[in-house]
Structure 1
Amino acid sequence: MLAGTPLRHVAETLGIAKSLLGKRKRQYEQQGDDAFPGNGKQRGESAELLRLRQQLAQVTMERDVSVRWS
């Protein structure tokens, strides 16, 4: 569809409504890879918060191990 295949043809091939496919296409054009969160994928601030929490847990563990062996 992004390569120029008509929206109607793609919708018929997938067996979904043309309006739904059009909506998803607009979302992708506006938001790119962040358009469809789910399946373990988060967007923007949620992804950053998760990354920072994981980093904090790692650093905390490293600190605790270091203190224990000092």
Structure 2
Amino acid sequence: MTKTRRTYPESFKRDAVNQVLAGTPLRHVAHALDITEALLGKWKRQFQDAGPDAFPGRGRQSGEAAEL
């Protein structure tokens, strides 16, 4: 049986990261949203590194790549 990769919209990712940044423990947010702690941690790092350019989505380029 093969697993299919789940995709999440940008708004879902931003809401999850905002909950963590607001002080809710990462473990609680991940459990409530039925995602892994590792995935939420990855989203948090991406958001902290890229800010508004985080989570560009399929086919969209972020920041400097879009300018080139």
RCO higher in structure (CA 8 A, sep ≥6)? 2
TM-score by length of 1: 0.58
Using the TM superposition, give the Cα deviation of residue 39 of structure 1 relative to its aligned residue in structure 2, in angstroms. 6.7
Indicate the residue corresponding to 1:19 in structure 2: 38
- Aligned-residue Cα RMSD (Å) equals 1.7
Residue type matched to 2:35 in 1? I
Identity between Structure 1 and Structure 2 (%): 65
How many aligned positions are there?
49
Name the structure with the higher helix share: 1
TM-score (norm 2): 0.59
Shift of 1:45: 3.8
1:44 Cα deviation (Å)? 1.6
Choose 1 or 2 for highest CA Rg.
Answer: 1
